[in-house]
Chains A and B, each alone.
Chain A
Amino acid sequence: MKKTLSCTVAALALMTSAAHAEAITVLVEGGGHSLQQAAADAFTKETGIEVNFVEVPYQGVYDKLSAEIASGTSNYDVATIDVVWNAAFAAHVEDLTDLFTDAVKADIPPALVMDANAGNKMMGMPAWANAEIVFYRKDLWEDPANQTAFKEQFGYDLAPPATWQQWRDMASFFTKDGMYGTVVIGGTSEEWMAEVLQAGSPGVILDDAGNVILDNQAHIDALENYRAPLCLDKSVPDNALEISWGEAQNLFYQGQTAMMKFWAHAYKMTPEDSEITGKVGVAPMIAGSAGIAAIPGPWYNVIPSTSQHKDAARQFISYLVAHNALGIEAPLGLAATNSAYESYMGKPGYEHFGPLMETLSAPATKGRPLSEDYQELVDEAVMPAFQGALECEDNVAELLQDAAATARDILGQ
Chain B
Amino acid sequence: MADRAPHDFGKTVINAAALLLVLSYALPYVYLVSTSLKPAADVQQIPPSFFPDGVSLENFATVIGTAGLPNAFLNSAIVAILTTLLSLLIAVPAAYVSALYRRRITVLFLLFALVTRMVPAVSLGVPLFQIMKTLGLLDTTIGLVLAHTSTAVPLALLLMSAFFEGVPKELEEAARMDGCTRFGAFLHIILPLMPSGLAISALFSFIASWNEFLFALLLTSQNSKTAPIVIAEFNSVYGLAWGPMTAAAVLYSLPVILVTLLLQKQIVGGLTFGAVKG
Contact = CB atoms under 8 A, between A and B. Distances in A.
B238 A63 contact: no
Interface in B209-263: 214, 217-218, 221-222, 229, 232-233, 235-240
Interface stretch (B37-45, B113-121, B140-148): B37-45
Given A63-B217, A75-B138, A250-B46, A273 B41 contact: yes
Interface in B12-58: 39-41, 44-46
B190 to A, nearest CB: 42
A241 B138 CA distance: 43
Given A30-B233, A52-B222, A67 B39 contact: no
A43 to B, nearest CB: 19
B235 A58 contact: yes
A271 B41 contact: yes
Contacts of B238: 31, 130, 263, 265-266, 332
A30 B217 contact: no
| Size category of the binding interface on chain A | 35 or more
A253 B45 CA distance: 10
Contact of A271 (B40, B221, B232): B40
Contacts of A253: 41
B233 A63 contact: no
Interface string A27-59: 001110000000000000000000010111111
B40 A67 contact: no
Nearest to A183: B46
A102 B218 CA distance: 39
Interface stretch (B76-84, B122-130, B166-174): B122-130
Contacts of A250: 44-46
Contact of A63 (B45, B130, B138, B218): B218
Contacts of B103: none
Given A73-B133, A251-B46, A273-B39, A29 B217 contact: no
B237 A54 contact: no
B221 A56 contact: yes
A246 interface: yes
B129 A67 contact: yes
Of residues B130, B218, B222, B240, which shows the largest number of chain A Cβ atoms within 10 Å of its Cβ?
B218
Given A67-B125, A75-B221, A256 B233 contact: no
A217 interface: no
Contacts of A71: 126, 129-130, 133
Interface in B187-205: none
B41 A246 contact: no
A60 B217 contact: yes
Nearest to A58: B237
Interface in A252-280: 253-254, 256, 263, 265-266, 269, 271, 273-274
A64 B218 contact: yes
A58 B231 CA distance: 12
A246 B242 CA distance: 11
Contact of A57 (B44, B217, B221, B222): B217
Contact of A54 (B133, B221, B232): B221
A63 B238 CA distance: 19
Contacts of B236: 29-31, 57-58
A67 B126 contact: yes
B143 to A, nearest CB: 13
Interface in A68-99: 68, 70-71, 73, 75, 82
Contacts of B218: 63-64, 67
A31 B237 contact: yes
A357 B136 CA distance: 46
A247 interface: yes
B46 A82 contact: no
A57 B235 contact: yes
B46 A57 contact: no
Contacts of A82: 237
B237 A60 contact: no
B228 to A, nearest CB: 9
Contact of B239 (A29, A246, A297): A246
Interface string A386-400: 000000000000000
B253 to A, nearest CB: 19
B54 to A, nearest CB: 12
Contact of B233 (A55, A249, A265, A274): A55
A257 to B, nearest CB: 10
B221 to A, nearest CB: 4
A29 B239 CA distance: 12
Given A71-B130, A75-B138, A274-B41, A56 B217 contact: yes
Nearest to A54: B221
Contacts of A63: 125, 214, 217-218
Q: Which of A71, A253, A266 has the most CB of B within 10 A?
A: A71
A11 B120 CA distance: 54
Contacts of B214: 63
Interface string A325-358: 0000000100000000000000000000000000
Contacts of A29: 236-237
Contacts of B221: 54, 56, 64, 75
Contact of B46 (A59, A130, A254): A254
Closest 5 CB pairs of A and B: A57-B232, A54-B221, A250-B44, A31-B236, A67-B129
Interface of A: 29-31, 52, 54-60, 63-64, 66-68, 70-71, 73, 75, 82, 130, 246-247, 249-251, 253-254, 256, 263, 265-266, 269, 271, 273-274, 297, 299, 332
24 contacts: A29-B236, A31-B237, A52-B222, A54-B221, A54-B222, A55-B233, A56-B221, A56-B229, A57-B235, A63-B125, A64-B218, A64-B221, A67-B125, A67-B129, A70-B126, A70-B129, A71-B133, A73-B133, A254-B41, A254-B46, A265-B238, A271-B41, A274-B41, A299-B237
